[in-house]
Amino acid sequence: MRMCVLPRSAELQAIEDSLAERALVALVVGTRPDCSVRQARRFIIDNYNISGNDFSIHHYQPEDFLLIFHDNAIRESILHASPPPSGTGLNLRFKRWQRFSTAEADFMYFRVLVELRGLPSHAWSAAAAWEVLGDFCACPEPTPATRASPDLRWFHAVTWCADPNLIPNVAFLHIPERRDPNAGTELFLRPDEIIYHQLPLLKYRIEIEILEIQDWNLNSDDSDNPYWPDRLSTDSDSDSDVDDYRGFRDCSRSSPWPRKTVFRQLDGGCDAGSSTDGRNSSDSGEPVDCGRPIGVPRNSVFGLLGCKVLTHTNDHFQAST
């Protein structure tokens, strides 16, 4: 199953706002006889005393029809009108259009700092980064240094992600070549009369490296963490007992979320050789779990999220807090 994320563009927002202000959905109720758009349109005109020029009507699901009105006052008059008398052979029930009528709530809980290498300078944009990162990422935000474009060797961005495992290591960005505006003129053909047999593209190889992962998943509660002793969740523990488990204070609910895993920092801080508290890590090349509590093992790359909660705001994630 493929996951797709549609950018919330200004055009999408404008259409959504327009439908929310001027649209109704209509459901055929009762015995639910077959009803065409023409029949529904005639029923509304005859029973609600409006002109056919005041609205458009379309087949729709999960209801039967979508009505878009040119005037919100007419929409409100139909929405609050008394039902027409019985015996008309058709009965429509109206309600406001809602964007979530066929949707389910979903969330992305991972915020990832990535580095893209090989992004062409004429495609230096968040939109290009979104295409490169794939279907499981959304809304990449270039870092301030990337927006300033002092160094076009790498593109740094913070993106929401459904699962960091699904971010590819390498992606190929294809950009269509510009069409010759004079093509076909030698044959006296109009642009719409030209039949093309291929689409010329330029392909760019983009390397992707994950620098940092923040897990904002609310389900990763400390009480459910198998690496925490049960007694740490009680109120009767003394400070000395709690101090035996480094990182426990940082993981309490009074601390800011999320959990952070750093593979490489842009400012040269916590990287694959040291952690934020100055402790040396192994030289095995494993990513560093900054401030990782005692008892939390290093497993796979994405099993390192049992680290202490952020007690400060990273510059690249400032918008998240």
- Which tens digit of pLDDT belongs to each residue from 129-150? 999 999 999 999 999 999 998 8
In the predicted structure, residue 227 carries a pLDDT above the cut 50:
no
> Any residues with CB less than 8 A from the CB of 202 and at least 6 apart, and which?
174, 175, 177
H and E: helices and strands count for the chain: 6, 10
Strand, helix or coil for residue 127: helix
Report the pLDDT value the prediction gives residue 36, as an integer from 0 to 100: 94
- Tens of pLDDT, residue by residue over 4-48, are 999 999 999 999 999 999 999 999 998 888 999 999 999 999 999
Report the pLDDT value the prediction gives residue 229, as an integer from 0 to 100: 37
Q: Is the pTM of this model over 0.75?
A: no
- Range scoring the smallest mean pLDDT among 81-95, 115-129, 157-171, 237-251: 237-251
Phi, psi (5° rounding) for residue 320? -80, -25
Report the pLDDT value the prediction gives residue 222, as an integer from 0 to 100: 46
Report the pLDDT value the prediction gives residue 88, as an integer from 0 to 100: 72
Output 245 or 155, whichever has higher pLDDT. Answer: 155
In the predicted structure, residue 316 carries a pLDDT above the cut 50:
no
Q: Find where tokens 């055929």 sit.
A: 28
Q: Find where tokens 């979508």 sit.
A: 66
Report the pLDDT value the prediction gives residue 158, as an integer from 0 to 100: 97
Alpha helices by DSSP H, the chain: 10-22, 37-48, 72-79, 126-133, 144-148, 239-243
Q: Which of 64, 57, 73, 59 is nearest to 93 (CA)?
A: 64
Report the pLDDT value the prediction gives residue 191, as an integer from 0 to 100: 73
Q: Which of 259, 231, 250 is nearest to 111 (CA)?
A: 259
In the predicted structure, residue 281 carries a pLDDT above the cut 70:
no
Report the pLDDT value the prediction gives residue 138, as an integer from 0 to 100: 95
Strand, helix or coil for residue 148: helix
Sign of the CA dihedral with 297 first, then 302, 211, and 217 last: negative
| Residue 124 CB-density burial (10 A; 0-12 exposed, 13-18 middle, 19+ buried) | middle
Instruction: Spell 300-319 as b/e; 16+ CB within 10 A means b.
Output: eeeebbbbbbbeeebebbee
Contact 113, 264 (CB under 8 A): no
Q: Reply yes or no: is the peptide bond before residue 62 cis, omega within 30 of 0.
A: yes
Q: Dig out the tokens for 257 from the structure.
A: 């979320």
Alpha helices by DSSP H, 53-98: 72-79
Domains of the chain as residue ranges with CATH: 10-96 (3.30.70.330), 110-214 (no CATH)
Output 303 or 12, whichever has higher pLDDT. Answer: 12
Report the pLDDT value the prediction gives residue 266, as an integer from 0 to 100: 80
Q: What average pLDDT is seen over the chain?
A: 77
Percentage of the chain with pLDDT > 70?
Answer: 70
In the predicted structure, residue 251 carries a pLDDT above the cut 70:
no
Could you tell me the pLDDT band of residue 219, with boundaries at 50, 70 and 90? Answer: low
